[in-house]
Amino acid sequence: MDDLQALADKAPPHDIEAEQATLGAMLIEPGATARAMAIVEEDDFYPEAHRIIFHAMAAAAQRGEPVDLVTVSAELRRNGQLEAVGGGEYLTALIGRVPTAAHVTRYANIVAEKSLLRKLIQAGSSIQASAYDNPDDVGEALDQAEQQIFEVGQRRTSSDFVAMGPLITETFEKLDKIFRQPGYLTGVATGLGELDKRTAGLQKGDLVIIAGRPSMGKTSLAVANLALHAAVQHEIGVGIFSLEMSKGQLAELLLCAQAKVNGWALRQGMAREEDWSNIGHALTFLPQAPVFVDDTPAIPILELRSKARRLKSQYDIGMIIIDYLQLISGGIGYASESRHQEVSLVARSLKALARELDVPVVVLSQLSRRVEQREDKRPILSDLAESGSIEAEADLVCFLYRPNYYQRRQQQERQEGETESVPVDFTRPDPAEIIIAKHRNGPVGTVDVVFHPAYRLFFESAQRSDAEA
C-alpha cells in the first residue's frame, strides 16, 4: 500500500520546458503554429494555464488571424483569462524561452509523448478501479481494459497526417505491378481463380460474409478452401473460431480436404490404400500450417474480440474465420434486447475488429427460410437472417447456391413427403455458384464452381475432371 500511495503522490509525467518552448515557438513564427497543431492538442498540456493559452491560439488561427503576442493577448483578454495565465508578462517570457521556432516539431513531440504517458496512467487507474468494483461480467471488464489500452496506442499512430506525394507514388507502383503481373492480388488469395479475379483477394480490414442455407458448404468453403490455401500455399496465419464444429471435426475436415480423400469412407473404415498414402503425404506439411482453432460454443463477442487481439499479437495472423455469426452471443446486457439488435451489435463489432487488426474477417451466416418459399432458390441480400445490419457492415457478401441440392430435395419429397434430409451423392462433384451480391470496392456477379462432397472442397469449373479423378 505504501508503494501505491507513493505513486499516487507522485506528479504525473510532464515537461514544462518543452511546453513553454512549443508555445513560444508558435508565438514567434506563423508556420510553427500549423506544425505544432498537427501534433498536439489542448489537453496534451499539463498546467491549466498552458491549455488556456493553446486554446486562445487555436481560436485565433481558426478565425484566420496571425498567432502572435498581440492576437493571443487580445483573445485571452476578451475571455477574461489573461491574468489567470500570468498576464502579458508570461506570454513575453514564453517567447524568450525559445531562440528559434525551427525545432517546434521536436518540442511538440515531447509534449505529446508526456501526454500519452499520462493517458496510460489514467487508463491504468480506470482499469484498477473497474477491477476493485468486482464487476459481474469479467469478460466485459477485460475487453474494456484492452480497448482503453488500444485507444492510447492509437492516438500515437492515428493523429498524424500523411503527405499525399508518397501515397501517390506508392499507389502508382502498386498499379504498375498489377499491370505487369496480370492476376496480381492485393489481398489474401482464395485459391479459386475467378473469385480472386473479381475480388483481387480478401482485403485487409474487410468484413466478408459467406452466407447460405444449411448444407450449402459454407464451412467447407471457409475452412477447406480459404484457410487451407492461405496457410499451406502462402504461409499466412489463420485464426478459426468454430462455434458449431469441434476442434477434432475441423482437424478431420482439414486433413481429408488436403489429402483429397473421402471423409465418410474414412470414418467407416473403408479407406483405400491410396487414401492412406495421400494422408501420409498431407501429414508431412499440414501440421506445420499456421492454423489456430478455438471451438468455444456460443462465445460472447467481447471474448471473441479479446482472443482475436491476442492471436494477432502472438502469431501475427493474416485472416480470421468465424463459423458462424448467429451463434455468437452479445453477452450480458443484451439478453433482454431483441435478437435483431444483438446481431446488429455483433456485426458492427466484427467490422470494427477487422479494421482494428487490419485483416480480413470472414464470417459465415445463415439465410432466412424465405429462400425455401421461392421458386428460384438463389439467395438475395434481403435473405440474410435476422439483421439488415449484416449487409450494411459487410464489405463483401457472397452467397453459396447448389441447384442440384434442391432438385434432390424435391425428388425426396415426392417419394417420402416433406423432409429436411437430402441424400448426398459422394461419387461426383456438384455444380455450385458463389454469388457476389455486394462488393463495396468492386464488381458483383456469379462465379461458377463445383463442390465435391467426398472431399468437402470447392473446385473451379475447369478443375472438375481433376476432382472426379
Q: Over pLDDT 90: what percentage of the chain? A: 11
Q: How far apart, in whole angstroms, are the C-alpha atoms of residue 235 and residue 394? A: 26
**What tens digit of pLDDT does each residue of 281-302 get?**
777 777 788 889 888 888 888 7
- For residue 362, pLDDT over 90 is answered with yes
CB-CB neighbours of 90 under 10 Å: 15
pLDDT at residue 224 in the model:
85
Amino acid in position 392 = A
**β 457-460/207-212 pair status:** unpaired
Predicted pLDDT of residue 209? 92
Is 50 in contact with 115 (CB distance < 8 Å)? no
Active site residues: 244
Is the pLDDT at 21 greater than 80, yes or no? yes
Confidence of residue 31 (pLDDT cuts 50, 70, 90): confident
Confidence of residue 271 (pLDDT cuts 50, 70, 90): low
The 3-state secondary structure of the chain, one letter per residue: CHHHHHHHHCCCCCCHHHHHHHHHHHHHCHHHHHHHHCCCCHHHCCCHHHHHHHHHHHHHHHCCCCCCHHHHHHHHHHCCCCHHHCHHHHHHHHHHCCCCCCCHHHHHHHHHHHHHHHHHHHHHHHHHHHHHCCCCCHHHHHHHHHHHHHHHHHHHHHCCCCCHHHHHHHHHHHHHHHHHCCCCCCCECCCCHHHHHHHCCECCCCEEEEEECCCCCHHHHHHHHHHHHHHHHHCCCEEEEECCCCHHHHHHHHHHHHHCCCHHHHHCCCCCHHHHHHHHHHCCCHHHCCEEEECCCCCEHHHHHHHHHHHHHHHCCCEEEEECHHHCECCCCCCCCCHHHHHHHHHHHHHHHHHHHCCCEEEEEEECHHHHHCCCCCCCHHHECCCCHHHHHCCEEEEEECHHHHHHHHHHHHHHCCCCCCCCCCCCCEEEEEEEEEECCCCCEEEEEEEECCCCEEEEHHHHHHHHC
Architecture of the structural domain at 186-468:
3-Layer(aba) Sandwich (3.40)
Question: In the CATH scheme, what is the code of domain 2-158?
Answer: 1.10.860.10
Higher pLDDT pick, 139 / 429 = 429
Which class for 95: exposed (0-12), middle (13-18), buried (19 or more C-beta within 10 A)?
Answer: middle
Domain locations in the chain? 2-158, 186-468
109 class by beta-carbon count within 10 Å (0-12 exposed, 13-18 middle, 19+ buried): middle
Q: What is the pLDDT of residue 58?
A: 83
- pLDDT band of residue 337 (cuts 50, 70, 90) is low
Q: What is the pLDDT of residue 464?
A: 45
End-to-end CA distance of the chain: 73
Which comes out higher in pLDDT, residue 188 or 274? 188
5 band by pLDDT with thresholds 50, 70 and 90: very low
d(CA 119, CA 153): 10
Q: pLDDT-derived band of residue 7, with 50, 70 and 90 as boundaries?
A: very low
- Find cell 423432409 and name the residue: 419
- Which position has the higher pLDDT, 4 or 460? 460
pLDDT at 399: 92
Residue 259 confidence class, pLDDT cut points 50, 70, 90? confident
Q: How far are the Cα atoms of 142, 266, 275, 423, 453 from residue 270, in angstroms, in the given order?
A: 49, 6, 10, 20, 16
pTM over 0.85: no
pLDDT at residue 359, rounded to an integer: 92
Specify the pLDDT at position 190: 87
Beta sheet of 361-366, edge-to-edge order = 291-294, 238-242, 319-323, 361-366, 207-212, 396-401, 430-439, 445-452, 457-460
Phi, psi of 260 (to 5 degrees): 55, 55
Mean pLDDT of the residues in the chain: 79
Residues in the chain: 469
pLDDT, tens digit, 9 for 90 and up, residues 301-328 = 877 887 888 888 788 899 999 988 888 8
Reported as a pLDDT band with limits 50, 70 and 90, residue 184 is low
Name which of 33-42, 238-247, 384-393, 427-436 the model is least confident about: 384-393
Please answer whether residues 230 and 187 qualify as being in contact, where contact means their C-beta atoms are separated by less than 8 angstroms: no
pLDDT at 425 over 80: no
Least reliable range by pLDDT among 132-136, 428-432, 453-457: 132-136
The torsion angle over the Cα atoms of residues 226, 229, 235 and 237, rounded to 10 degrees, is 20
* Under 8 Å between Cβ of 220 and 400: no
